Structure 1
Amino acid sequence: MTAIFAWLCAAVAAVATLGAAYFFDKSAEEGIEAAKERAAHADATAAQAHERTAALEKEAAEANARAAQYQLRFQQLADRLAPRIANETKLREALAKVKPVGPVQVWYAPEASDTMVLAFQIANILRETGWTVDGPQPIPDKHRTDETGAILPKALAWGAQPWGLSFFANGGPKVSREFREGYDGLANAIGRSVPDHGGSFSPPNAPDEPANVPAGSIRLIIAGKQDPYFNTPIGAPK
């Protein structure tokens, strides 16, 4: 009897153990599946967050690129509108390699805002480096009998460009090598030291009309800057 009871207790215990094991195994499987689902959901959420982060980074990079372009355009416009000032170091170094010829006439268009300051700056440096300078002075009036001349800016009336720096020279019927080299060196030195200089360079072979440069002389005419909006010289008659 005792043995039967013991056997029954052992059987009950075994069944209980098996049931508990099955229950725990089932719960463990369900827990694992739930964990897998949570992990998959977390992975999907992370992937979405990563995609969103990448999209935001792309938008930020595009915005930064646009901002850089706007900044560049603004700086370019500011540089175009800023007064022209010669780089004195470059100008002095370049002029030191050139033998002075001339004299040099320096004229400027007074209707433009920066021409007078630039003319005096260049003229002073030329004098300090051994050049003989006549001026600076405003572009003088020139009598023109034709109707076109009456409406032209003064720079144009004297054969110069309506904007930038225009160089003229009269080396006589037979231009000497010394005069040509001095004239070329002067124009290159000034042109390379003045930002956005534009203008024109005429050969030194005794120009007559409309420049009328005295024999043996060089003339620099400083007109206004070119308008970055309308492609016309700033300060020119509208």
Structure 2
Amino acid sequence: MEGLGQRLFERRQLMATVDFDLYLISDRHQLPAGRSLAEAVTAALAGGVGAVQLREKDLATAELYALALELRQLTAAAGARLLLNDRIDIALAVAADGVQLTEQSLPVAMARRLLGPERLLGVSCHSLERALQAEAEGADFLCFSPIYATPSKAAYGPPQGLDALHGLCAAVKLPVFALGGITSERAPAVRAAGARGIALIRAILAAADPAQAARQLQAAFNPERPVP
């Protein structure tokens, strides 16, 4: 029982670190001409983004590692989290805060063994079944998508909608981040459905002013949190 109690204590401590509302997922192909990913991330962090997921699947390992190092410096300076999509090796190499797994990644339980209890483990899911499985295997938070229609998630089928989001949030104990087509106008309804936060790509990266876009999204989703 002592060992179980310690694990539960560690899990509660980890859950407390999921304290961000805006979760930016990188895609440098969404950037306007002349803007680097580092510039966009810097602006987004200034606007209130609390966590960044580095997701650049077409980069070679050496390039991804160099970019991860750069973003690690930016997020650390801003007091924000950095997670790597799928790449546990690079996350460990740059001392990132965690990893985001997909349905094609290592099993959640194996990823947890490799990461240890101190790093965040997010899991992307497109069904309640997958969400419950990830929770049982040791995930710290979930990304559920697509909530609304969006080009980046078209391959995952029609939008899940707010009812599905509400049902999933009610069925799991983990924090849930909603992803897919979320705008400032839609953010309040997403929060009302039970989402802990919102995950964003184009809404920030493709914006004329990423910092202002982040501020507007933060204010719309969680008015209680001070906006930078």
TM-score relative to the length of structure 1: 0.24
Larger radius of gyration: 1
TM-score relative to the length of structure 2: 0.25
Normalized per residue, which structure has more helix? 1
